[in-house]
Structure 1
Amino acid sequence: MCWRWLLSCKILRKISLGMRFYGGWLLCLSLLLVIFHIFSVVEFHPNSVIEGGPNKRNKKSDHLLLGPAAGQGLPNRLQCQGSKALNKTHLLTSPSASNVGDRIVFVTMFTIYNTSLDSHADSKSSNLVTVGNVSYTKTERSMAILNVFINFIQVTMPRSSVIILTDPESDLLLQRNKVTLYPIQGEYSREKLMLQRIRSYITFLNTRLKELAQNPRHTSHYIFTDSDIAVVDDLEHIFQKFPKFHMALTFRNNKEQPLNSGFIAVRGTPKSILRAKIFLQEVLEVYTSKYMSASRMLGDQLALAWVIKSDPNFDLRRFSKARAFLAEIGGASVLFLPCATYNWTPPEGAGQFRGMPLDVKVVHFKGSRKRLMLESWNFFSSASDISDMLCLILMSGRTKYDF
């Protein structure tokens, strides 16, 4: 510090020789104090991090952070003022109309890895996450997400039921109306969970084929989904509006991963179930032969895309427009539904974002958006307005949350 002080004095002395007025000395003294302060800050705080820098910006939040609602002023997008919707997105099915039409069954795969929900290791305070007035262990919040998944279905599609494909060894305790546990033997390790999901879907469809052979009048349509989705509008119209498809997939304008496996619909006729089963068997074969390196994540979506792209008659340019269309793939009539409506995901982090379409039917809370899913249900429970709840999701969608 002494050499810096002397250097500053010499510099200021030379400057002062050229100054003719007394006021110049006051300026020199002020400059000296500023230089001394800068040197002292660098000396004693060399490793300081500016608040709001990259380290803080990348940290996940443990509560909802509301920002501006994207898509304001754009046509056919949800318009919000705070958490209040200025234009409504949905007119839910009236009670009189809810007693007609085909029965829809939602099918999801879910397992837990703890031997008990009261595991001591899982209940340490450092592992707890608080949402609203409730604190959850890792296992409890997984169960909470599953229950919210069921809650949304029972609100928007009260006639529907839910089947949960699960590991027979899983300590899964769930007693809900119109919810059935369906144990299927398999390999449920985290590394191969997506692989097991396709195998479980095939096993389930094969069982349904046998049941239909014995009782052909017992017909239901099936929608296979991830358990971290919220059904925010009735989906029965898919099977009524598009009467010729065997199975449906959701797509997006993404060159490498155009298809998302979190939503697959299958018409409940024997022919459709058989076609869907054969199609998924081909996906499974591609998965195990080409994408085992991605077995923990994305392997199923890569395999789906490979099967579709391998069809010589399929036009990949159709993925560039968010409009539903039909295509024949390997003997199956496949309905392609835009993710923007049937598998919409709140953006995570920064990036361009054009808001939420007014016709959104399914919201997918992937990755660290799970807190947002629980917070959304809590908000809906108090407000009872789906459009307002969607504004909350829209304003919170760019934040990385704590789980």
Structure 2
Amino acid sequence: MRQQHLFMPTLREEPSDAETASHMLMLRAGLIRPLAAGVYTYLPLGLKVLRNLQHIIRQELDAAGAQELLMPAMQPAELWTESGRYDVYGPELIKFRDRHQREFALGPTHEEVITSLVRDEIQSYRKLPVTLYQIQTKFRDERRPRFGLLRGREFLMKDAYSFDTDLEGLDRSYWKMYRAYERIFTRAGLNYRAVEGAAGAIGGEGGTHEFMALADIGEDTLVSCGSCGYAANLELAVSQESQGTDQAEAAMEFREVREGEHCSKCGSLLTLTRGIEIGHVFKLGTKYSAKLGAVFTSEAGKEQAMLMGCYGIGVSRLLSAIIEQRHDEQGILWPEAIAPFRVHIVLVSAQDERQVHLADRLYDELLRRGIETLLDDRDERAGVKLKEADLLGCPIRIVVGKAAADGQVEYKKRDAAEVRLCGLEEALGLCSLGE
């Protein structure tokens, strides 16, 4: 992409309404723009990153045996009444009526829809197990949208649902998704922890784990033991204590935990950290299948309710969490796997023919090799270009300046201080290897 044609409206000053580093940098780098409280437009660069994240998610879920579909965002309210969640979900459920006065809701999640679909299409054990997923916009009327994409009223989510005939099958499906999540978040360059959590409004009859990106602005407190590996969401454990849930009882020992206390399981020191929830896996059991009639005929000829699992990832939230972990004073530090471009070529002078010729040769060859590249060919001051390159944060920056007279360019990785002077072929080799 040539930057003179790129729709990338950057901001030189920090937005006054940005509460977090990720929110501020996404606005300044031209990734998003607000339309209303908790509602954002994704500009071309922001959308490129989202698509890269979706590509990773699809690869790992497909490899785990899940199949992608796409369900409607508009859901009949009677489905929510049938499941018993219509009133439980509360004011976050966005409701409306069509011209025939039939009531609908904009989907904050899709347990009801997927259960009704599978109920109508699968009746025999021979068609199970099956895991289905989608990546789709969700809607929740948050009372206080905040932190940019971290808590919005419209957001992009990956939700998956497994259907099995018995507990052993549900357990296999659950841990397949758990391991897929580990691979997804690792490939996305995140520092994360998987902790025991509580089911909340989704509910369920079995275990649940939350995947947390470690960050000081996180709304959850995680307590963990570095020796035995136990970890839990402290807030959720305490909030569930009065309800007597199994998760709460298992985590009650952490109710008054302070930094430096010892783990009751192994005696090692406990640590407290803040985290952003980026993914959640649930064993739902028959919570929805029993109420919505998703049953199958077993091998023995008996009718049984399907055992379900539910697995969510906040895709747009991932974008914020990654930036929150990976930035410096100059801007974003994208991991290579999700960066909008791998290489950013900065042409110092668009009036210098030798610089233009070398930049064009480098750009064309990188594209030929399948390396996504942004060429800043604007007639703009060099200082402005370099600052915006750091703000955008592509993994590799190549400056084509005065050294172009000798056929050389400046090669620099965004997360390193070293600048390397090299020829065209060497620069191409470094970009191909990512070194």
- TM tier, shorter chain? under 0.3
Task: Pick 1 or 2: higher relative contact order, CA cutoff 8 A, min separation 6.
Answer: 1
Larger Rg: 1
- Higher share in helix: 1
- Higher share in strand: 2
TM-score of the pair, normalised by structure 1: 0.25
TM-score of the pair, normalised by structure 2: 0.24
